[in-house]
Chains A and B, each alone.
Chain A
Amino acid sequence: MTRRTHAALAAAIAATLTLGLGACSKNKNDDGSDQASNGAGITTGGNGIIGGTPVKGGTLHILSNQDLSQLDPARNWTEPEMDFGIRLLYRTLTTFKAAPGKDGLQITGDLATDTGEPSDGDKTWTFHLKDGVKYEDGTPITTADIKYNVERSFDPDLSGGPDYAKKYLVAPADYKGPLKGQELGNDSIETPDAKTIVFHLKRPVAEFGYTATLPTFAPVPKAHEGGTTYGNHVFSSGPYKVESYDRGKQLTLVRNTYWDQSTDSVRKAYPDKIVMDQSGSPEGIADRLIADQGDDQSAIMYADMSAAKVADVLTNPDVKARLVSENENCTAMVTMDTAKAPFDNQNARLAVEYGIDKEAYQSAVGGPALSDIATTYLPPSLTGGTAVDHFKIPTGGDPDKAKQYLAQAGMSGGFSTELTADNAQKPQAEAVQAALKKININVTLNIVDASVANSTIGDKDRQTGLSLNGWCPDYPSGATFLPMMFDSRIVSDTGNLGNTSRFKDPSVDAEIDRIQGLTDTNAANQAWNALDAKIMDEAPSVPVTWQKKPLLVGGNIAGAFGSPIWSAEIDYATIGLKSAK
């Protein structure tokens, strides 16, 4: 997922973020604490969990300022919404364990008994369903229903969801999904009985067990199909079911009495009822949680708190104790167009790599409370939980070394270029501009509306030398990051969203193919890290920050931590109340 798509979700808050940036960042830079804690977030309490273990019962309130985009499991592809859907409403073949940090990166069988059995050199994957898994009406969940939802993910009418099934499965090129009356044959997906499902892939995929955590692999019974409106009344296979959904106002979930805790090792389903209020204002939500009164004590916030409010929270120890602010594991980058001069020259790119002041950039996005400094493309969740520092450049940049690279590039006098950023990113763009000016690179800013930023950067004729963008992995594997960002074969003239540096190195493409063919996931992970380092050396873009997600919870909340998977949104599997009242 592009960093911009991700950022757009919090757009209502973006303006406030930009407004309140300067203030809180300066203080934090002075105390220097950011370096020691790079890669980690702010949480208090034992093991990074706020409020200890919850009790059963009570009503949990989730305060949001907007409707969810899409709860249909075939179309749900934004991290916080995947967290919401997967943890509360639908179960998938496999899922992530509910734990903070490294432990939360591990997967386990969910509807399936295990994380899948590979055969045929990882090109065939078989899953068996557990006994006693049921829908909200008590009918048993079958593998045919999982196959049906995977087929739905091919339908152009049901767009927007994860497209891994489309990428990996053997399927006719013109297949358009079950709503058009077409079914995938046994050469794609077999369901020999109601409890067994076999996927046939185009190429070996060693981490398909991780792929099966995506909501594409949740069951949808054909009898409850609702086409494009299915997301308005999802048929539950998880611990809760939709009681009412007044879109843009309120979503109320109550227990699915047919969900059986003994079949589910991950979800704890502590609250009896979950009410998501979608009609708050961002400032009002933050103020209510800071005040912490009445029902708000049993409430959590859904979307990031503005930087100005975070500053208020950090100065008040009682309130700070209720702040979750974990690394989202999305890498923000300054990308260079390697297809055009001057950035077709590797030394010119390295000059930018060394010239950028990441500390100033971090200040521009709200300081260490809101972001960590990024030192590789792969975020910590993809490098074993700890950040890797590839170049070991001082966080404020190394202008002398940068000038050396400029000289090697034959551009010792510097050059001029442009930088495209959207209007919420202006402070970051200015930080880059100021840092590069010191090494005689004159940057002109091209600030565009967020709605047109992607199309500007993705158009080979309109793309500027520099641009701001980034990437969030879909699950902790280099396979959901480096191929999307640096494989030259996905570059297109327009609508180019992934490899925006237009980076082209046949040896990188070949290495991507080789790693994707590996059957040993550990070896694959090591190989992804090595490839990350190789691409860093070629410097098609500069990783600058890993954003954190600041979320405040009420005083009666227990079991709250930022998920290492779903962009640091609070994991809904284990959240609950201290007292059910």
Chain B
Amino acid sequence: MERYILKRVLSVIPVLLVVAVVVFALIHLTAGDPAGIMLGDNATPEDIARLRAELGLDRPLITQFWIWFRNLLRGDLGDSIFLHRPVLQAIIERAEPTLMLTAMSLLVAVLIGVPTGVISAVKRNTWVDRLFLTTGLLGASIPSFWLGLGLIYVFAVNLAKLPSAGYQPIADGVWGCLRYLILPSLALGFPNSALITRITRSSMLDVLDQDYVRVARAKGLSVNKVVLKHALRNALVPILTVVGLTFATLMGGAVVTETVFNIPGVGRLVVQSVTRRDYPVIQGIVLVIASLYVFINLVVDVLYTVVDPRIKY
């Protein structure tokens, strides 16, 4: 197992290398200039040229890449052009809201997706099954920003029960933090629950047709016990895969949700950085998210061995 993990970790290196080159090239080949944005509308070409030189943007692209890459090898993601602070620090400062939002949204997605998927499988082809599948389809079709604005309108503006925007760090109080996260995590988690519902349903259907389930029922075990203890556990591998993928999707979805709910997280930072052409921040965030994606996949692969001891690496 250790050997497998080491091999997987080492395989991350070429992946990140490709990501680094592609991201750098894409960003720098896109038109736009951070110096012009920073200095505002009435900046003269001389002012812009001076700032460009100061930021090193007047150097050949290959030189800029080499400087950035050399620093990257030392673990230095560079400094934000706009925020005047190290990129890593800027990401760390905004990591908590994004991780909390992603975790809460995943919880929402799993708590909706797995039970509805299991019930749909057990009650296959009944009105309950169709209701859940239709609701899931509807949920997957609703853009999270639209759902977010709708939730704000109902729960924050009209009922005044929950805050409309912002974030409170967990260190300032767990309930306060959760209050700010309820609406955004519903907006982000609900549309993503649909895929979990469908995968859980199909995985459960496969398992429920197996002989050992029939045997368990024939032995007189209750439906609940058979479904939850025997069938669900064996259906977990594909579900775990999709939950892992959903976590990564949610990280991406946080970009929109954080903007709608004004959450000071990594997603909003990346949107703003693109608008400002803050190259080091965009590069840094993409690299960190790519690493996280690879890490999540690794964790999911390792978890397979826990839920299904037959799997060995």
Partners in one complex: no
Residue positions of A touching B, CB distance < 8 A: none
